[in-house]
Amino acid sequence: MQTPQKGRGSNSKNDKTPSKKGIGRKSLSKFDSFAGSPGIPSRLTEDLDELPLASIVSRKRERSVEFEEVEEPEEDDNEEAPTEGFVVEEPMIDDDDVEMRDAHEKEEAEEITTFSKEKELEKLRTSGSMTQCVTEIARVKNIKSIIIGHAVLETWYFSPYPESFTKADAVYICEFCLEPYPSLKQFERHRTKCTLRYPPGTEIYRDPIGNISFFEIDGRKQRRYCRNLCLLSKLFLDHKTLYYDVDPFIFYLMTRNDNTGCHLLGYFSKEKLSAENYNVACILTLPQYQRMGYGKLLIAFSYELTKIERKTGSPEKPLSDLGLLSYRSYWTEALIERFMTNRTEVSVSDLSEEMAFTPEDILSTLVETDMLRVFRGGHFITLLDEHIEQYNKSKRKPKLKIDPILIDWKPPRFHPNQLRFL
């Protein structure tokens, strides 16, 4: 039986290192790369096989440290210090510089997180009705004033007109076709060519005494006109988000007629297919015709159309501040007039069917005006002295009313193929 051969790292029996722990050529393979390598002294590999592992590693580290050390050159004021092979020390930063840098970084972070007027305006012009800062953008006015007909109106809110319009002192709007122009010269040239004298729709109501007419316009058939109408109304509505997508809506325009044509007073829009049974999506009376009773006339006409449809309707929520005041005043006056002219017992459902108001709107109005009282487990409607005085005052003051007999309108019917892309 052959005895195992001793390792080459152990040359004699007196060697303190046991033979089984000797270092063979194969064990030193990871140090072979040092032998003959450029920049490595040849003495580092001398007698490598005859040294223990700890000695080899220790000597290797010493030689490596000796080789990596670099002598620092003597300082010479006349010569510039070379940059290659040396570590250039960073300059000392003063406390003032640190504070200025921190303040600059803080300003950059605030610019990213806070509202940017320029970016938001550009987003609205390019993407239409979508905005991420509704409450902030409502405070921005990009159009100073508009001239429509004989009225010069100061705008209230933002409207996504082209950027060239924002640089003009005033925007000129044709009162018949609603086309905007940034200069008077362009507007006058347009007026010589424009032949439109009434809204491009179907006239469904005409009052010869008050010279009031209502026109119905399909947003899909008259896109340009309806978009111009939405851009105009956005100047005076803070919560309006409809600018370009007018296909799903029908617009009802109220005009006052004279020898020169039909002049726009206000309008309201309505969804062709409303899941919540809203009878009004957006409503506006132009500022020069406000506080003349035209707003309540628009509301009354919308409910007359709802009665013809044999439905109950309510305006789309949330309402603007002026819209809520107008509707609350109209509901209050209509209910007080109903109770003063007919004192018979009636339920909320009967009132809803008779007046086309939703039960929620009726109850909220009765509670808000303190007309609904509870007595011995029953609900009673009580008219206070202020309610009676309000009714008598409204009777003495002449106001416009809608005559249902003059309405020539049938509810539009849309085929499912016409609504699937809306």
Active centre residues (catalytic):
316
DSSP code at position 254: E
Query: How many DSSP H helices and E strands does the chain contain?
Result: 13, 13
- Which amino acid would we find at residue 137? I
- The Cα–Cα gap between 46 and 39 comes to 15
CA–CA distance, 204 with 410 (Å, rounded to integer):
9
Find, among 56, 15, 17, 16, the residue nearest to 34 by Cα. 56
- 147, amino acid identity: I
SS3 call for 330 = helix
CA 237 vs CA 19, 157, 159, 324: distances in Å: 97, 7, 9, 13
- The whole-angstrom separation of Cα 326 and Cα 296 is 7
Task: Note the Cα 398 to chain centre separation in Å.
Answer: 43
Q: What is the DSSP letter of 43?
A: G
| Dihedral, CA of residue 381, residue 384, residue 390 and residue 392, to nearest 10 | 90
**Residue in 292, 299, 406, 271 with CA at minimum distance from that of residue 355:** 299
Contacts of 213 (CB under 8 A, 6+ apart): 198, 203, 205, 206, 207, 254, 255, 257, 262
Angstrom distance (rounded) from CA 323 to CA 52: 96
Question: Is 220:238 a contact under the CB 8 Å cutoff?
Answer: no
Give SS3 for 387. helix
Query: What are the C-alpha distances in Å from 54 to residues 49, 245, 385?
Result: 12, 83, 110
* Sign of the CA dihedral with 353 first, then 355, 356, and 358 last: negative
DSSP designation for 171: E
